[in-house]
Structure 1
Amino acid sequence: MKKLLPPILFALIVCVMAVICWGTGSPHNVARNYNLFAIPLVLTGLFLAMTGSRLFRQKGTNIMTFDEPDVLVIEGVFRWSRNPMYLGFVIALFGIAIVMGAAYSSLLLAALFLLITDRWYIRFEEQVMRRKFGADYDAYCSQVRRWI
């Protein structure tokens, strides 16, 4: 599982959503044209993920999930969420699920991404951050929530 990085899992889930929704004729719960109201969700989520990523590059820290971080980033979007990139992916996935018609399978896949992210990626990263940054990271965790 260490080789399955979050952006790859994100893309994989989007592809599976498309195959299930359109390939199997999964029933849609949002009428055509109304699903387009979810496009701002998709764009907001992707913007949030890219903003966090850009801040990592500006700070010169590692962005790879399973490698050790170089810097504790606590400014910008990280003032409101300890995981804005993951939050952005989740928001975008729920938006994509709605754009695709909000089939239950698509919504469940978005929820599955959230669960995997929370229980696998974030849990791993938090252990590494705690080891590397100690009390500074604990103080940050006491001030900023994991998601929002």
Structure 2
Amino acid sequence: MTATSAKTHDHPGVIAPPPLVFAGSWAAGVLADSYASGWPLPSALPAKVLAVLLGGAGVVFLAGALGLFRKAGTRPEPWQPTTAIVTSGVYRVTRNPMYVGMALVYAALALALGSLIALTLLPAACPRDPSRRHSSGGAIPGAEVRQRVPRLQGSGAALALDREISLEPLAA
């Protein structure tokens, strides 16, 4: 974790809280499915088991990230100034574990309800790379974090790391 100076202000220009973006996209998909879709997902046991596993993984990512933010003394809201960069715990796997967690919970809920349209809207709810919104000026090593911490990238339901994980600590 790297502390920033009091003069450093890092505002990513978020126009809506990310949980509301995910919830709005999910709700639109579920409502569209209830009115228009003739292609509901199968409600078989494997789909329900997958939904539970995805939801559990999402909660782990979210809880781990929020706990680390609390420990670092920084706010999780992306519209608040960044006061510390967290690079341990789930941040060693992806630089955006809160977004990964929200996407996993979203997918789990869409699967549980059998909403194909909600699943197809998931990529629209995911920002391209939220870590690129933060400035790299001042004491915040934005570019270094992007180089050293992998991001999970996906196509549809498949997620993959964009490079190998480096377990070496970031330079202060």
Structure 1's unaligned 5+ residue stretches are none
1:78 maps to 2:78:
no
5 Å-filtered alignment, 1:1-148, equals 2-37=14-49, 38-103=51-116, 105-114=117-126, 117-118=127-128, 121-125=130-134, 128=135, 130-134=136-140, 136-147=141-152, 148=161
Give, as a single letter, the amino acid of the residue that structure 1 aligns with 2:24. Answer: L
Deviation at 1:50, TM superposition (A): 2.2
Q: How many residues align?
A: 140
CA RMSD, Structure 1 to Structure 2 (Å)? 2.2
1:5-42 deviation per Cα after TM superposition (whole angstroms, max 9, x unaligned): 10111222232232122344542132444421222101
Structure with greater helix share of residues: 1
Q: Distance in 2 between matches of 1:86 and 1:74?
A: 15
1:92-139 deviation per Cα after TM superposition (whole angstroms, max 9, x unaligned): 222222222151x2122111112xx125x44323xx2x12435x4433
- Pick the structure with greater CA Rg: 2
Structure 2's unaligned 5+ residue stretches are 1-12, 153-160, 162-172
Q: Distance in 1 between matches of 2:30 and 2:45?
A: 17
CA contact (8 A) 2:62 2:102 kept: yes
Structure with greater strand share of residues: 2
Q: Distance in 2 between matches of 1:108 and 1:122?
A: 24
Deviation at 1:76, TM superposition (A): 1.0
Identical counterparts, % of pairs: 21
* TM-score, normalised relative to structure 1: 0.79
Give, as a single letter, the amino acid of the residue that structure 2 aligns with 1:143. Answer: R
* TM-score, normalised relative to structure 2: 0.70
Q: Distance in 2 between matches of 1:13 and 1:5?
A: 13
